[in-house]
Structure 1
Amino acid sequence: MKKDIKHIRKSINDRKKLRGIPSKTDRGKVSTIMPSLPQEEEKHGFYPNFIDPSASNQSRSNAITGVILKGIFSVMLFFSIAIIWQNDAEIFEKPRQWTSNVLTEEFPFASVYQWYKDSFGTPLSFIPGNDSKVVEEAALALPVSGSVIETFQANGKGIMIAPNETTSVSALREGVVIFSGKKSDTNKTVVVQHADESTTTYGFMSSIDVHLYQIVDANQRIGEFTPTEASEMVYFAIEKNNEYVDPVQVVEVDDNP
């Protein structure tokens, strides 16, 4: 019986020592808890993640739900447009016209920009930074200085201007660039949309200094033209309400209000 009691007491003292609690047999000795040594993962910069995994799972679930909802709405929109176009009922006539305009017409960037200026008085920049140079000369009658070699009556779309030397190509009026690149018929080309929903096209340029959706001022340099044997003329056209307008007539009206 005494042996059993001693054995139990010894076991209790051993457990206290393991837990760092001083026992009666230590006689004033103080036991301390040694700090745990860093694990192998901690030595290499890896630390346990204490973030609740349920939170990240919830955000991931919300993202997936959002994608699914967008997909459902896209499918619904697609089938709604298909029904409108396949049905000849009179009630669908106006929705058909609206969807046709939205899908075929260019968004009126210049009109929105003009409305923003009139409403808030501060120019709106779609893309920050405008490093293009503004032509500091007097307002040009045409985008480049030169002689009109081919008139509007010759092709029904635009005019061909022949500069005698390297010259800057300038925007006729303030607007937003809706095309900047190469076209099959006019090579390096810039198309500028204006607030009155007209567009001006500048083709056969040697270099382009503006980018898509950039806001340009009246007479601002948009590129350069250098006459060569292969390209001696600059193409210039004005289009409004899906019809081409004689640029010379428009310029004359602008110069003589």
Structure 2
Amino acid sequence: MLREWSQNVRKRREKQVRLIKQGMVPPVHHSVRSWAGEWETPREKIPEPAPWNRFVPEGEKVKRRERRLMFQVTAAAILLVFTFILFHSDSPALEPAEQFATEVMTRDFNFAGLSDWYKQYVGGNPAILPAFLKNDEPGNQQTLPQWRVPVKGKIILPFDEKRKGLVIRTAARAEVVAAAEGWVTFAGHKEGLGNTVIIRHAGGRETWYGWLQNLHVKERDWVKSGERIGEVGETKGQSLIYVAMKKDNQFVNPAGVIPLE
């Protein structure tokens, strides 16, 4: 078979050579198959462009802006009507929502507290606002906290290097308040201190409140100076509370900063 195929090929070549010598061009057999089509994607298979790459007529853009504006106006109107009803209703069920809305609208945003949270959970010192600057950077007008007594009582065990804090005897189930405004970084159980609340304040200080009976705050809450954070529990048959202060990762005597009796 191979020999026969070779003979056929030789005969076709000899025929083409004779035609060329006679001045006749041999016929060229064009393939009806288009090889370009092998590399081209059929139109029906061309994927649709992504939404952000599609051509949008100018008129459609205007309509989209109008719809977005209409949605924003409608949402603002609904919020306004809801707020009006909220503040003009005598229903006791709406009182918590009214108090929350009042607090949100009247409370000043504390950038110093946000800076402390940013340093602890993100790291670094963001320089977006002056309140985020370091203490030694020019333009920092961060206000230092005004300290107050967290609970009324008598110090029965003073601060020492072993205790790292002091112990106060007070009335049973006495209310414990935040010694200054700050960010609650811990609210839960600690070994040896029971229910404990840790608050981080402007300037990098932390206050610790241990042996609490009940906790009225949770982690990442923002508390104001004098805001209730818990109640004194019973420890060893007495109403005691442990108070400590930390600065630059070192425990210091809280009596040197907080006006304790």
TM-score normalised according to structure 1 size: 0.44
